[in-house]
Structure 1
């Protein structure tokens, strides 16, 4: 698919067919590798030149907005296709490939009656695209919210031992929780494991000897458990407050040696709940991504169709402002290669060798008088570029 097209309008003095035939002949003779198509624009309501002048600035701004929404939707489609691992589908408009829709454009009279004022049609197209963009923002935000929750869980499960969730690494048999004993998880730097094994029993008086057990190791840390006495003999009985002080002392002494004692409460119920939540988020993400991708396919077609109708209005308005009334111009679509651009521009300028083009060339040198923007002020004929990607 060609990704870049020019939409241009040439003046017609007698017959549009005659200009078309001459243009075909010139392109075929001097730039045969440049595809050339007619861009069929219906007879739209002109209104007054003052109304066209007032509309001209809005046309450029709205065109940039609609083009931006088109590209944004396309990029979203490409991202979802990549994340889903699906093969990229050729984007279509009403079942027609987008490049074919452009090169064989037909005005939708049912959707945009040509007898409506141009301003009314422009506002209608703009509002439709605004609604699609708003819907896209809401849908993407909903998807990103689920994705963020899932990423947060995955980071907890795949990060280093210093931050990750330990519930999937600690099993029932690794934990002792009783009236007299409690097991704590210790995160030990990978290259300090010997220091841990040599010193953990002396970090407080209430460590169960030889109770430390290695459960897991990653690239940076090792996960050990260590068991502390919650109570000692009756004459050394401690209450919960005393034990907390013992645990805090152990935690502080461990930290001074570079070991981290993680807060951890083993709960099979909570672990099962987290597992179910993860599975739900995975399902929700896949369902949202699939439905959003289908919505983007449809919405891209709607935005692109709106864009092409908008381009038709822009060509019509700029041609009237350029060549005057009554409307007498030929609109075309070309797709020259980079090396052919200069030659094609020269051919197109050859069709503007009249008083109108001379007037516009002199005005262009002064910066243009109608403020059409885009490429229009650069050439003696209306011209702007459509980038499909």
Structure 2
């Protein structure tokens, strides 16, 4: 039984009634299901068949290609999903094939792209052409022929752009977390990352202190920041002036901010006795916060942050555009590869002449209530019962092909040798009709 979350591409021999097949199937499928199934003609070109050895070889190789192409499409979709924060409505605006929804591309007069993948080429050349457009293979899935530079276009371009974007995005987050300058306008990303998380003993002080909290350009005095536990505030107020002789300027302590656990104080100290002050804080369980206010550092880091923020936005836009384009390209390539598989399997199963009828079927979905009388019910998930009925109807309709779907192999002793050589192929599950699946692109 094929997956209930895929569109089915089906091929059968043309027995002279190609025009009547689709209406007959539509009638039968509409009778067995309350929810409508989508079904359309799916033309299969008459490729050059080549030799039996070539067909068997390609039949063994193509599942590897299929797996890689499917994974490539899935990775592009995942990139789009991450870029758009998994927003279903936005995602559906970018999961398009030639600016059309996926279902419309498959179910609305699909045709082989003869201008790009000439159907008169040999099958091996055809597969190589699709490979060259789609991307480079993992080491364990290398095709029989050596890939060219063009072959890595989609996969490598996505990897390069995604890596570059992630590096810049990571740098931006790091800069936002580690800023040590004050009163820079807070970006929306700051709200979403740990910059503002934690208590006053650990969190960034960027958006808390200001220039007025610090003594500027003093040779002898320095302003320090101390996070004092709430239960020790009285101790701080009574002790800080007595950390040593000439360590702290009297009455210089000033509360700046407070949270549930700590109060942040500024205090003016003599630079000469900085180490004594640090030791006294440690002994009294007051937490000294290292913070240096510098106008030059503010300007420098703000410029770096602005540049990185601008670069991140530009790369996000470029990656979004590239992913949108590459989804359209890679999905078309995947479907064309499925058609090549349909043809090869049909020749091996039904023999010559290589004249086959293709049909595309998308089984019905179950519907869930929107919860409002003003809104229509929306597709929710595959309807297993309906899908099972759809598949049973197809099996029943094409049951007459059972005798010819055993692969046209020799008889007697030669047959035993043939089966032994290609045992793995012979053991694959197959139906009376040839069927390959195109996984659904889930946007919700």
Same fold per superposition (TM over 0.5): yes
Alpha-carbon distance change, 343 to 86 in structure 1, aligned in 2, over 3 angstroms: closer
Give the alignment partner of residue 265 of structure 1, picking from 292, 297, 310.
292
Root-mean-square deviation over aligned CA pairs: 2.9
Q: Which residue of 2 aligns with 1:355?
A: 403
Give the alignment partner of residue 312 of structure 1, picking from 320, 339, 344.
339
Q: Work out whether residues 74 and 300 of structure 1, in 8 Å CA contact, stay in contact via their aligned partners in 2.
A: yes
Q: Does 1:256 align with 2:256?
A: no
Q: What are the residue-to-residue correspondences of 1:161-240 with 2, within 5 Å? A: 161-176=200-215, 177-205=217-245, 206-230=247-271
Q: Does 1:44 align with 2:44?
A: no
Alpha-carbon distance change, 63 to 175 in structure 1, aligned in 2, over 3 angstroms: same
Q: Which residue of 2 aligns with 1:123?
A: 128
Q: Work out whether residues 57 and 372 of structure 1, in 8 Å CA contact, stay in contact via their aligned partners in 2.
A: no
Alpha-carbon distance, 1:43 to partner: 1.1
Q: Which residue of 2 aligns with 1:330?
A: 357
Alpha-carbon distance, 1:324 to partner: 2.1
Deviations 1:145-187 (A, max 9, x none): 2211222233344244334443553333322252322221212
Deviations 1:229-276 (A, max 9, x none): 23xxxxxxxxxxxx3xx4233223312332221233221111122222
In structure 2, how many angstroms separate the alpha carbons of the residues matched to 1:372 and 1:284? 55
Q: Which moved more, 1:196-205 or 1:37-46?
A: 196-205
Q: Work out whether residues 405 and 433 of structure 2, in 8 Å CA contact, stay in contact via their aligned partners in 1.
A: yes
Deviations 1:171-212 (A, max 9, x none): 333222523222212122344333322322233331222221
Alpha-carbon distance change, 342 to 86 in structure 1, aligned in 2, over 3 angstroms: closer
In structure 1, how many angstroms separate the alpha carbons of the residues matched to 2:61 and 2:232? 68
Whichever structure has more helix as a proportion of its residues is 1
Unmatched 5+ stretches in structure 2: 136-152, 179-194, 365-383, 409-415
Q: Does 1:146 align with 2:168?
A: yes
Alpha-carbon distance, 1:86 to partner: 8.2
Give the alignment partner of residue 247 of structure 1, picking from 274, 282, 285.
274
In structure 2, how many angstroms separate the alpha carbons of the residues matched to 1:372 and 1:122? 22
SS at match of 2:399: coil
In structure 2, how many angstroms separate the alpha carbons of the residues matched to 1:264 and 1:312? 65
SS at match of 2:233: helix
Structure whose alpha-carbon radius of gyration is higher: 1
Q: Work out whether residues 318 and 372 of structure 1, in 8 Å CA contact, stay in contact via their aligned partners in 2.
A: no
Q: What are the residue-to-residue correspondences of 1:268-307 with 2, within 5 Å? A: 268-307=295-334
Q: With structure 1 as the length reference, what TM-score do the two structures score?
A: 0.84
Alpha-carbon distance change, 86 to 382 in structure 1, aligned in 2, over 3 angstroms: closer
Q: Work out whether residues 349 and 406 of structure 2, in 8 Å CA contact, stay in contact via their aligned partners in 1.
A: no
Unmatched 5+ stretches in structure 1: 231-242
Q: Work out whether residues 7 and 331 of structure 1, in 8 Å CA contact, stay in contact via their aligned partners in 2.
A: yes
Higher relative contact order (CA 8 A, sep 6+): 1
Q: Which residue of 2 aligns with 1:107?
A: 112
Alpha-carbon distance change, 207 to 106 in structure 1, aligned in 2, over 3 angstroms: same
Q: Work out whether residues 281 and 288 of structure 2, in 8 Å CA contact, stay in contact via their aligned partners in 1.
A: yes
In structure 2, how many angstroms separate the alpha carbons of the residues matched to 1:85 and 1:180? 60
